[in-house]
Amino acid sequence: MQALSTSTPVAVIGAGAMGSGIAQVAAQAGHQVFLLDQREGAAEAGRQSIVKQLQRRVDKGRIEQSALDALINRITPVNQLDDLASAGLVIEAIVEDRDIKRSLLTSLEQVCDDDTILATNTSSISVTALGAKMKNPSRLVGMHFFNPAPLMALVEVVKGLATSDAVAQCVYATAAQWGKKPVTATSTPGFIVNRVARPFYAESLRLLQEQTTDSATLDAIMREAGGFRMGAFELTDLIGHDVNYAVTSSVFNSYYQDTRFLPSLVQKDLVDAGRLGRKTGQGFYNYAEGAQKPLPATTEKANSVADTLIVEGDPGPLAPLVKRLAASGLNIIERDGSGRLRFGDAVLALTDGRMATERAAIEACNNLVLLDLAFDYTNTTRLAIAVAGQASEQARIDACALLQKTGLAVSQIADRPGLVVMRTVATLTNEAADAALHGVASIGDIDLAMKAGLNYPEGPLRWSDNLGFSLVHTVLTHLQQSYGEERYRPALLLRQNRFAGKGFYS
């Protein structure tokens, strides 16, 4: 089905930050837009907020004043539902309350033409449930934008049980015409992004609770080694802990307390204390004027007399790091083996989801130092390591000295299974694989959603393929063994791929 013609009026209900942003997007695409809010003066205030934001772009010469004037003239504040009768698409962006949204949707059915598409911008409420009281739920679809709507590319097009294919296809095509990157999802708790992203927050929160290292170091590892735009603590401070904790709790309860979505007591304490992040001036970090953000923990400069790196077998994902080390002037000796690196007293290997101490005992390799995953070992500026409890101090020094030869900031963390980036990527992949298995969305749409909606450096399923078909499964299996929890059980699709010897895209 084709996208809506730009001659079709669009209505947006709710003139807060999200609603105003959606109105701006539709107006920029050329539609006449009606903006409605039950609060007196709110619709005009929303229109003026758009003017204020875009005027900055005019002042910087990025858009012409005439373009701003034309866009604003296409946005009309209105006062009542009857004013929306001519709209071909109505998008509600009101409070996240099922009963209030249901009431609005049933009222819209009485006002709008039978072929008007009704869309909900809900981020967590079932589209199926919202349509249950409607006379014709086939015309209801989720159209979930991400904040700020004019800047964020992703739109989740969410099909409820009764949503017609034609309606979903029209909204998908319309979002694409508006310059967005739409993905299609079924109406399950959290849709794609809010479900698949839970481990990003959960694993950092658990590592903090286990006193692995401090929040600033965990954030730095996720940014600098993982390639993520922000670490979990910076991001939740920005989102607001009340909001993030509520979404986690909603998904947890919606999935009947599945431990994969277990909320964090650390975050609950912040919510209970009213430390909600930037909006209250205090979260994991202090945002008071003049407050300094803590620096990440970095190992002091280490010196080693060793000058030869022994590479035993295929280093796998560590190959770019080996190449980087070779470029630093080290002598390189290659010989058969299991992918370990030897430098001085240190034996280095990529984490496989076990603690260094456990793996050292099993493999009879006392001086074992485990390396965390990096998105791009060639250009990363930081890497986390964990040292086996049996290792000598010289082994630790040699490992740090080796990595520092390439200019890497080394963050030694407490010995925890899977370290930081690896366990996060593994659990993200696991949740994405489970979502694909259950038909929430296609593999390609899941990866696109995580990149376009949250600026991940790579979609988790593609990332898993790039690491090799078995590594993520191995990491998860070891995490499950270490914790004895269902939280880390490998998804059935991931397990199937492991034994079929293929990836998600092969």
pLDDT digits (tens, 9 = 90+) for 12-38: 999 999 999 999 999 999 999 999 999
Asked if residue 381 belongs to a domain, the reply is yes
End residue of a domain, out of 358, 392, 412: 412
Tell me the average pLDDT of the chain: 96
Active site residue 194: yes
Phi-psi region of 315 (alpha: psi -120 to 50; beta: other; left: phi over 0): alpha
Give the pLDDT of residue 469: 80
Q: What integer is the mean pLDDT of 71-84?
A: 96
Asked if residue 213 belongs to a domain, the reply is no
Residues 182 and 315 in one domain: no
Active site residue 338: no
Asked if residue 193 belongs to a domain, the reply is no
Active site residue 123: yes
Residues 182 and 313 in one domain: no
Catalytic residue of the set 194, 304, 367, 411: 194
Give the pLDDT of residue 35: 98
* C-beta contacts of 203-209 below 8 A and 24+ residues apart: 203/232, 203/420, 203/423, 203/424, 203/427, 204/231, 204/232, 204/233, 204/420, 204/424, 205/232, 205/264, 205/266, 205/267, 206/264, 207/413, 207/416, 207/420, 208/233, 208/266, 209/264, 209/265, 209/266
Asked if residue 112 belongs to a domain, the reply is yes
Asked if residue 505 belongs to a domain, the reply is no
Q: What integer is the mean pLDDT of 223-249?
A: 96
Contact 383, 350 (CB under 8 A): no
Residues of the chain with pLDDT > 90, as a percent, come to 98
Q: Which of 203, 194, 503, 198 is nearest to 353 (CA)?
A: 203
pLDDT digits (tens, 9 = 90+) for 374-388: 999 999 999 999 999
Structure tokens at 253: 């309860």
Asked if residue 242 belongs to a domain, the reply is no
Asked if residue 443 belongs to a domain, the reply is no
Asked if residue 389 belongs to a domain, the reply is yes
CB atoms within 10 A of CB 254: 17
Q: Which residue has the tokens 């390439």?
A: 406
Report the CATH number that the domain containing residue 167 is assigned in CATH.
3.40.50.720
Q: What integer is the mean pLDDT of 346-365?
A: 98
Contact 473, 494 (CB under 8 A): yes
Catalytic residue of the set 121, 123, 164, 250: 123
Residues of the chain with pLDDT > 70, as a percent, come to 100
pTM for this prediction: 0.95
Catalytic residue of the set 156, 203, 234, 431: 156
237 pLDDT exceeds 90?
Answer: yes
pLDDT digits (tens, 9 = 90+) for 391-403: 999 999 999 999 9
Separation of alpha carbons 434 and 321, rounded Å:
31
End residue of a domain, out of 377, 412, 447: 412
Separation of alpha carbons 240 and 250, rounded Å:
15
Segments forming the whole domain that contains residue 407? 308-412
Q: What integer is the mean pLDDT of 311-321?
A: 97
Catalytic residue of the set 20, 92, 121, 144: 144
Residues 315 and 170 in one domain: no
pLDDT digits (tens, 9 = 90+) for 398-448: 999 999 999 999 999 999 999 999 999 999 999 999 999 999 999 999 999
222 pLDDT exceeds 90?
Answer: yes
79 pLDDT exceeds 80?
Answer: yes
Give the number of domains in the chain.
Answer: 2
Residues 160 and 15 in one domain: yes
Active site residue 156: yes
End residue of a domain, out of 393, 412, 431: 412
pLDDT band at 124 (very low <50, low <70, confident <90, very high): confident
Structure tokens at 45: 């205030």
151 pLDDT exceeds 90?
Answer: yes
Report the CATH number that the domain containing residue 399 is assigned in CATH.
3.30.750.190
1 pLDDT exceeds 80?
Answer: no
